[in-house]
Amino acid sequence: MRRGSILQLVGLGVLFGGLATLVAVLIPWLPPVASKQRDRIDFVFWFTTGICIAVFALVAAVIAYSLLKFRVQPDDDSDGPPIHGHTGVEIVWTAVPAILVTAISVVSSIVLVQNENVPKNHLDVAVTARQFAWTFTYPDQDGLTSAQLRLPVDRTVKLHLRALDVIHSFWVPEFGQKQDAVPGQDTTLVITPTKVGTYPVICTELCGLGHALMRTSAIVMQPAAFQTWLRDQKNAAAAPPAEAGKAVFTSNGCASCHTLEDAGATGTAGPDLDKLPAYAKQAGKPLEDFVRESIVDPNAYVQSGYPKNVMPAFATLPKDQLDSLVDYLVKSSTGGGS
Ligand code: CUA
């Protein structure tokens, strides 16, 4: 090959590599980074992307060069030269990709092992997935339960996932990993949040009619603010019945689907709970019985205009919590709220 031809090939390679790099770097393909694990995963992404760009630049340059240089003239009807392969080239195009793919798998394995590493002073949180809501329980805090995942920044948390009905999947894009919640199986996910903020928790496994509604928030807080929140939650749970009912309402995620003025809830996916007395009349049941039944067995009576099988059955709610929730809903919907 002449020196000029090599320079042309290299020029084309730099051009295509440069274009591919711009596409990779200028477009924000990934959500912001908010965990250590996500940082490592992004490193694997960029490592792989770098290899892809190099391979793309090489292939595109050779194709473009061949198109420009070896184009057949319109009046040329002769056969091409007979070629019987090239052992040297074949060894190279087998060995180089094998080395690259091995490098990717080694880097990925190291990151996977690092991402599963749990330090001794970690926080445990039990995640319960059901059609169609998430609840988060803090076993070290007397089983404190919340509808949002609250986490202190820079402390590793180990999530213990379980599903009560079908397969769901836990995903916070900014944390970078997904983990299935499978009935009858305990799965775990390790996260070390690195940035204070509020991020979406998304169910990423099609789990039924309400799958798209199965969302909540992961709230990463300063450690001091997290401790204050823990204390406030515990005080609320030990409060008089009306406030305890309100706390049950809030911590079980009711507000994401229902409107209830007293609790400042504005959800519209489910029936408006300020209209409970009217609904009970339509169902032909006493208000308190109607409210209790709708929580424990939501499909017994479904208000017209709302889909069946979307509201989760809270049959596992402890009796004292259920009682205070029913009490609270009856009082607040008839205008006697806290
Ligand atoms: Cu739960 Cu989709």
Integer Cα distance of 63 and 21 in angstroms: 19
Domain membership flag for residue 40: yes
How close is the Cα of 254 to the center of ligand 1, in Å? 16
Is residue 128 domain-shared with residue 219, that is, in the same domain?
yes
Is residue 243 domain-shared with residue 168, that is, in the same domain?
no
Domain membership flag for residue 169: yes
Among 321, 207, 155, 338, smallest CA distance to 263 is for: 338
Is residue 249 domain-shared with residue 301, that is, in the same domain?
yes
CA torsion angle for 189, 252, 267, 335 (degrees, to 10)? -170
Decide: 258 in ligand 1 pocket, CB within 6 A.
Answer: no
Sequence-ordered list of residues with C-beta below 8 angstroms from that of 239, at least 6 positions apart, any chain: 247
How close is the Cα of 205 to the center of ligand 1, in Å? 5
Domain holding 278, by residue range, is: 239-333
Is residue 226 domain-shared with residue 253, that is, in the same domain?
no
Is residue 189 domain-shared with residue 245, that is, in the same domain?
no
Domain membership flag for residue 76: no
Name the residue with the closest Cα to ligand 1, atom 1: 168
Is residue 244 domain-shared with residue 324, that is, in the same domain?
yes
Domain membership flag for residue 78: no
Is residue 145 domain-shared with residue 218, that is, in the same domain?
yes
Domain membership flag for residue 312: yes
Domain finish residue from 216, 233, 250:
233
Please answer whether residues 53 and 19 qualify as being in contact, where contact means their C-beta atoms are separated by less than 8 angstroms: no
Query: What one-character-per-residue DSSP string does 210-232 give?
Result: TGGG-EEEEEEE-HHHHHHHHHH
| 113-145: burial string, b at 16+ Cβ within 10 Å, e else | eebeeeeeeebebbbbbbbbbbbbbbeeeeebb
Decide: 214 in ligand 1 pocket, CB within 6 A.
Answer: yes
Integer Cα distance of 202 and 182 in angstroms: 16
Is residue 111 domain-shared with residue 172, that is, in the same domain?
no
Is residue 149 domain-shared with residue 228, that is, in the same domain?
yes
How close is the Cα of 6 to the center of ligand 1, in Å? 55
Decide: 20 in ligand 1 pocket, CB within 6 A.
Answer: no
Ligand 1 atom at minimal distance to the Cα of residue 181: 1
Domain membership flag for residue 75: no
Is residue 60 domain-shared with residue 148, that is, in the same domain?
no
**One pLDDT digit (tens) per residue for the chain, 338 residues:** 688 888 999 999 999 999 999 999 999 999 999 999 999 999 999 999 999 999 999 999 999 999 988 888 888 888 888 888 889 999 999 999 999 999 999 999 999 999 999 998 899 999 999 988 899 999 988 878 888 999 999 999 999 999 998 999 999 999 999 999 999 999 999 999 999 999 999 999 999 888 998 999 999 999 999 999 998 888 876 766 667 788 788 777 788 788 888 888 888 888 888 888 888 888 888 888 888 888 888 888 888 888 777 777 777 777 778 888 888 888 888 876 44
Is residue 163 domain-shared with residue 248, that is, in the same domain?
no
Q: How many domains does the chain have?
A: 3
User: CATH number for the domain including 163?
Assistant: 2.60.40.420
Domain finish residue from 186, 211, 233:
233
Ligand 1 atom at minimal distance to the Cα of residue 168: 1
Ligand 1 atom at minimal distance to the Cα of residue 210: 2
pTM of the model: 0.74
Decide: 211 in ligand 1 pocket, CB within 6 A.
Answer: yes
How close is the Cα of 321 to the center of ligand 1, in Å? 25
Is residue 183 domain-shared with residue 257, that is, in the same domain?
no
Domain membership flag for residue 338: no
Domain membership flag for residue 59: yes
How close is the Cα of 265 to the center of ligand 1, in Å? 22
